[in-house]
Structure 1
Amino acid sequence: MVHGGRVTDATQPENSLAPGLYIVATPIGNLGDITLRAIDVLKRCDGIACEDTRVTGKLLKHLGISKPMWRYDDHSEHRDRSRLVESTRDRAVALVSDAGTPMVSDPGYRLVNDCRAEGIPVTVLPGACAAVAGLALSGLPNDRFLFAGFLPSKEKARREMLEELSAIDSTLVFYETAPRLIKSLTTIGEVLPDREVAVARELTKLHEELRRGLPAGLIAYFEAHPPKGEIVLLVGPPPERVASEEDADAMLIDALRTMKASQAAAQVAKATGVDRKTLYARAMELRSA
């Protein structure tokens, strides 16, 4: 049946959603950040799978919605997931996390994989995400970034993880808890002492705060002002490497084999941080030698 330009199933009530799993992003703090589409799906779905029924219950009460809720979190057993998958065969089930977008540092990917394996439709509703909000607020380079979840709580594992990620030429994005922030900043200061760091705290909430600087300065600030709330911890990419004259010459000589002097200078400048005009002049000298 075609109704208002929309194909509907005559066997279902006009207002109902098609069976399947609906991944619904919820606010990370400010309840005004819920999307119109998310409200619509939460109103029309048959039930909601959530991390904590108390947290989701507060959101539903704010929206004036009453729906069955099923707990689904890190501790859910395989049979709980199997029951949810079976429910999505003939019912519309919304999957939410306590805050933000499900599947971002969240156990829901197993449920999505199982639904896809069974041929059950999966629909995603984009919305709030603390990692992306923190990146936007930080002002750190965002053309390339790596979200790495939570840093390990043990110092040795935390150090090893940061050492592993140190060679990646991107902004690193982590989630962190307030009680562990100083320890994480200390390890970052030891492993990545020259990297600029940003601490985004209580995003979208009344006491939202962004502090940016080198690890040592941030440690001093947060020792004097103990942090509270949810935190996104961001580490800027490695500073541009300035090569020695010998390194730059070797790279120019290699580039000049296949490029014009201007192209070679531009490529080596990008790789080393050396001034492009200086490199161009040197390339012309090398070419005429």
Structure 2
Amino acid sequence: MPDHTPGQASDQDNPFLDPEVASLTEEMIEESAEEALNLGSYSDEEIAALVFEGQDRPVPLPWLDTLEPQERELAVAMGMRSLTVRGLVEALPLDDVQGTIRQTSPAEVWALLGMRRHAPSTVVAERTTTLGTDWIVLYEQEQDRWLAEFITVQGFHEFVLAAAEDTALALMAWSGVDAQTPAPDFDVRLAVEEVQGQDPRLEPVGQALVAVTLSRMESSAPEEVSFSGLYSGPEGSYLSRREQDGLIRFRGEGFDGVEAFVRTLLRAS
């Protein structure tokens, strides 16, 4: 693969336009139609070393964000060292006097970063349980595929590329949705202030063991973000969505209803 400097403006030096990267991305998209593809795991500090502020979508970095600025800088430097040892980054000297370098990476790294950076829409799922908070960030791809970035509370990022149907089922399982539990008989509409005030009518929802906040953003209109919620526990699952009149509706849903909702959430742009 030719040497590339990340972030350069010219097409000739843009690694995301490299024919090898484009071919590999297309190949992975095709392969993921049959089964989900695991595209590797990275730590917080490795992700921070790979991505570029202002160009890549920011994601939670739960371990890195606990550090002081100087500690964070050192950790990111160690992340770059780790990437180098793993063969995922190579720093080639450009000017020995000025100490400048050119950062290069294998095609599979640029393919992964390209799928993150150029997704037309992004869905963020934030899960809260008694064990803490973790996330899945979903990036829309061609041919009804989604790249999932699973982020643990310890600060590890695992990437899986799969068809929308498989992605929806994985998201539901991660959210604690049980196919054997019937839909709760529950349908309540509340104002935002009532929800924020923990209205007593929401007590059944509050007993859920897993609470997931879902947001979707289109790259063409990043300021417009849609929000919803998915809550699951022994009594079943509940969905929350904002209605056209501004009220938030909480409704009990069975497995099929939740699946239909998640598939709509993962609709193509």
Higher relative contact order (CA 8 A, sep 6+): 2
Larger radius of gyration: 1
Which has the larger strand fraction? 2
TM range, smaller chain? under 0.3
TM-score normalised by L of structure 1? 0.24
Which has the larger helix fraction? 1
